[in-house]
Structure 1
Amino acid sequence: MKDNIYLDNNSTTPIEPRVLDAMLPFLRENFANSNSAHHFGQAVNHKVKMARMQIAGFINAEHNEVIFTSGATESINIAIKGVAQNYSNRGKHIVTISTEHKAVLDTCKDLEGKGFTITYLPVLEDGLVNLADFDSAIRADTILVCVMYVNNETGVIQPIKEMASLVHAKGAAIMVDATQAVGKIDVDVDELNIDLLCFSGHKMYAPKGIGVLYVRKGANKIKLTPQMHGGGHEGGLRSGTLNVPGIVALAKACEIAEEEMKDNEKVIGDLRDRLENELLKLPNCSLNGSAVNRIYNTTNICFSGHDANVWIGRMRNISVSNGSACSSAIVEPSHVLKAMKLTDEDAFASLRFSLGKYNTGENIDTVIEKIRELTQSS
């Protein structure tokens, strides 16, 4: 692994050493169940409370608005299905975007089979939603709108604050998949006026198996019908013994992200731009998605006339992607790129490079040289 160049950080990230150090005691000596009544358990429960406050503060939420899950996919399922069941007497219409993660799209497809109507909004060629079309899609019977903050394949950033205002003006709720945003850019649920928000630890240098569902409380609180039963943990929304090591690790990852976010944006952004600028000099290459409204660590490039899967197989020490890791076992063109009007051929010819804080200028130069070689030999 030492010689591997990893440019697939939107898929998952390595655990930060300080995050690992924070969680290890809760795998060894501090292993008690945080819901146990004895002193051992209550000492661990105190650490969970402190971690919950740390994570809540990171997104400017209240501690009782943070629900711990196994990851963003579970959070998304709890949120969408929970709203659908609890508010079905108001309406059975949900709006989402055609470029959402499969966790959202497949959950919506499941609800279609249960009598709900789903509007899958198209995007423009740059991956952004037309706000006029977005506003028009929200109806009197719309109960929920689901929007991904930062697209996992292209890095395109949707105007969430403006969208939330339009959603609330029509009396619906908005759920935001912020998996690719939290830890990279400032996410303030209060300022953005979000009702529900989901993210995962393993996208921000914490371990796999820990995630968060933010559920707004207060005057405009959102009520969800629980999808799991068995103990009433997490306010009744997510029964099961808490993943204490993961919770503590995620809190530490949030602390580190808050300290490093601005520096990461500059350093990683410069590396991404260096990679992108050189690759776009190659013949028949083009950028997929907006060049302006996107996250700083991601570039998705079409190498027209080439097969990205073949290239991935030939770059044995370089990890890149040609789509979402959650769909990588399926040999079909990216639904995100197809929604942005790319042909099947160009979708199959596209590579996503998603950088992280452990990448170096030397890594980038090596990748540029390797891609140059591949364009000449294939």
Structure 2
Amino acid sequence: MVYLDNAATTPVHPTVVQVIQDALINDFGNPSSTYRIGKSVKHALIQARKQLAELLNVSETDVYFTSGATEANNWAIIAQANKSREFGEGHHIVTTAIEHPSVTNVTKYLETQGFDVTYIQPNEEGEITVQQFLEATTDKTIGWIAMAVNNEVGSILPVQELGEAAYEQKLWFHVDTVQALGHLELDYQALKCTSFVGSAHKFNGPKGIGFLVYRTYQEHNHLEPLLHGGGQEGKMRSGTENVPYILGMVKALELAKKDITSNFEKFEELQAYLLTSLDSIGISYEINGDQKNRVPYINNLWFNGNIASQMLIKMDLDGVYISAGSACSAGSLTESEILKAYYPNQSERWSQSLRISFGYQTTKADIDQFIHTLEKITKGKIDLWHSNK
């Protein structure tokens, strides 16, 4: 098996598996219980929140555990939008046209609730700029939204600069940092955003656990409860905390941050190897997205004349697992909205591009197998029903 779809999800690190297993066996108590085994788990939860805050260089009082980034994006954006409108600050939001569906579908929902949303398109160089956000801002604008790293093409957005500008404009600023956490160095304390999110399964942690960091920039724009019940998470998100997975997530981020520099260098080497290998066998391709500002661990390539859906099936038959874009559409494979935003006049790119994304476990041998399979596909040596390994 060759797994090159780490932007969709990552394998859980063996050390993280052990942490989760130990907690499931030994720390099974309810952290809200008053007896010793409950108090012991409560202490572990408190320490995990403190450690996560230290890893992110933020205040532990600003950290809320969630089921993942989708929940956290929904919670933060809707809360800030509603509070701003409630206090008469306006009803206009500026975001990008290349956000993850867990952001884009939230802003589309807000449009049905009377909010106006401007979607910034990448410019001719594939960039999203601060100037574009400023030009779209009006006296009715209440907040900005931008992701740190695009999940389909790997473009890096200028969230540090956007945060500075949003702060000067007295706007809330939400950042989806899912594809940056554990892979790209960011100073989250210096990042002038009011909220950002993470999801453990993107950095070799378990699925179903994530977090929201929410920093109130104005006294009235505080976070409202997402779920009502027992009052967990500072009465902001009720429900018994998933302590084993929380501990696993924190351990996963600790491991990722420890190796972040060496892994990034490895990803740069693998990216160069991938592109050089494609060039060496004469397979024609073009890189999608921002050509200058992009991470090395997400590579979206256009293979002109080859339908992505058919290539994925043939790759699967040969034991190679990649994708054609976001994996968050309930298993459906449709034309990429992200590529439509980047290339509105090149419709062939939308359905002829593949995403190859690396993880800490990726090797050059994995890329060799991908290249070998791709060469067989482009030369018609793999049909849809039989694998010719």
Q: TM-score, normalised by structure 2?
A: 0.92
More deviation in 127-136 or 258-267? 127-136
Q: Which residue of 1 aligns with 2:39?
A: 42
- 1:369 maps onto 2:372 in alignment: yes
| Aligned length in residues | 375
Distance 1:126 1:41, change over 3 A: farther
1:356 equivalent in structure 2: 359
Assess if the C-alpha contact under 8 Å between 1:304 and 1:346 holds in 2.
yes
User: CA distance change for structure 1 residues 163 and 214 in 2, over 3 Å: closer, same or farther?
Assistant: same
- CA drift at 1:279: 2.3
Aligned to 1:167: 166
Cα distance between partner residues in 2 of 1:318 and 1:346: 22
Equivalent residue for 1:114?
Answer: 113
Q: 2:37, 2:100 → 1: CA distance?
A: 40
8 A contact 1:215–1:222 mirrored in 2:
no
Structure 2 equivalent of residue 336 of structure 1: 338
Conservation of the 8 A alpha-carbon contact between 1:232 and 1:239: yes
**Which moves more between the two structures, 288-297 or 278-287?**
278-287
CA distance in 1, matches of 2:43, 2:217: 24
The one of 323, 327, 340 equivalent to 1:321 is 323
* 1:205 aligned partner: 204
| CA deviation string 1:327-366 (max 9, x = no partner) | 2634421000010015332211100000101111111111
Question: What is the CA–CA distance in structure 2 between the aligned matches of 1:51 and 1:350, rounded to whole Å?
Answer: 40
* DSSP 3-state at the match of 2:379: helix
Match runs of 1:236-275 below 5 Å: 236-275=235-274
User: Which amino acid letter does the alignment assign opposite residue 358 of structure 1?
Assistant: Q
Greater alpha carbon shift after TM alignment, 70-79 vs 282-291: 282-291
Kindly indicate whether residue 82 of structure 2 is the aligned counterpart of residue 85 of structure 1: yes
CA distance in 2, matches of 1:170, 1:252: 37
Query: 2:124 & 2:25 partners in 1: Cα distance?
Result: 51
Alignment of 1:4-19 (within 5 A): 4-19=1-16
Consecutive unaligned residues of structure 1, counting only runs of 5 or more, are none
2-structure distance, mates of 1:47, 1:313? 44
Cα distance in 2 between the residues matched to 1:295 and 1:26? 34
* Gap change, CA 1:109 and 1:170, over 3 Å in 2: same
Aligned-partner SS, 2:190: helix
Task: Give the distance between the partners of 2:330 and 2:230, measured in 1 at CA.
Answer: 36
Q: What is the percent sequence identity of the aligned residues?
A: 36
CA distance in 2, matches of 1:283, 1:33: 56
1:64 aligns with 2:61: yes
Query: CA separation in 2, counterparts of 1:219 and 1:104?
Result: 23
Distance 1:334 1:328 in 2: 14
Structure 1 pair 280/155, CA: closer, same or farther in 2 (3 Å)?
farther
Distance 2:137 2:169 in 1: 7
1:210-236 deviation digits (Å, cap 9, x = unpaired): 101001158779512223211222123
| 1:95 alignment counterpart | 94
- Runs of 4 or more, structure 1, over 6 Å off, are 218-221
Shift of 1:284: 3.8
Q: Structure 2 unaligned runs (5+)?
A: 382-389
Deviations 1:234-290 (A, max 9, x none): 123211110101110011112111211111111122112211232256454100012
Measured against aligned partners, the alpha-carbon deviations of 1:126-185 in whole angstroms (never above 9, x if no partner) come to: 442133221111222222211010000011000111111111111101100000000101
Kindly provide the CA deviation profile for residues 14-42 of structure 1, in whole angstroms up to 9, marking residues without a partner as x. 11001111111221221011111111111
Q: Following the alignment from structure 2 to structure 1, what is the Cα–Cα distance between the partners of residues 260 and 129? A: 30
TM-score, normalised via structure 1 length:
0.95
Cα shift readout 1:77-125 (whole Å, capped 9, x = no counterpart): 0001111222212111111100000111111111111111111111124
Secondary structure of 2:156 counterpart: coil
